[in-house]
Amino acid sequence: MLSGFWQAVGSSLIHILSGFLAAVILGFVCGLLSGNSEMFKTLTNPISRLIRSVPVAAFIILAWLWIPSTVIPSFISFLMVFPIVWLQVETGLLSVDKKLVEMATVLDMSKKGIITNIKIPTVLPFFRQSVITGLGFAWKSGVAAEVICNPTGSIGALLSNAKSNLEYTRVFAVVLTIVILSLILENIIKFFWRETK
């Protein structure tokens, strides 16, 4: 019984974190592109706004029509985190002090030097915060997708089954596990990615 519980937790972690990591990578790339290209920003802005405006439950139901239930938690986690990272990286790039860049150019600093010494230090706090915030969204939305779609061997399925069978002790135990895992994951990122003073 206990081994099945931890297997479900491990399965949920793998599915949700895979969607989260894909969102971080693609969101970072899109943020760089939209922060550097007005054309890319204009063309993709409707997509970003659409993803941010549609409720997560609606995305879960829509995804359930075409995607296998085992893939939906990863997809929903990706969908919730992707625009957060994208927007924050874009905002970080747009907040780079243009006068500082101009001064560095006048002083004959190379493009690599401008990126390393000006742009990256400006964007990094935005990116870091988006990753921390996004992890919480990924975990909550991924578990919500599991509860709705009920894929076998997932923590969301355990929660849904316990609720259906009126096993309230198990419901509270699973919810407590979800909360604790969320806090642990967030603190792991904060510990290994501390802001330098």
Token pair belonging to 169: 């002790």
Mean pLDDT of 167-184: 81
What local confidence, expressed as pLDDT, does residue 177 receive?
81
Question: With contact defined as beta carbons under 8 Å apart, do 147 and 160 qualify?
Answer: yes
pLDDT for residue 124 is more than 60:
yes
Cα separation, 92 vs 171, in Å, equals 41
Cα separation, 47 vs 36, in Å, equals 18
User: According to the CATH classification, is domain 2-192 in 1.10.3720.10?
Assistant: yes
| pTM summary value | 0.84
Residue 164 to residues 30, 86, 108, 115, 168, Cα–Cα distance (Å): 41, 38, 68, 55, 10
Terminal CA-CA length for the chain: 47
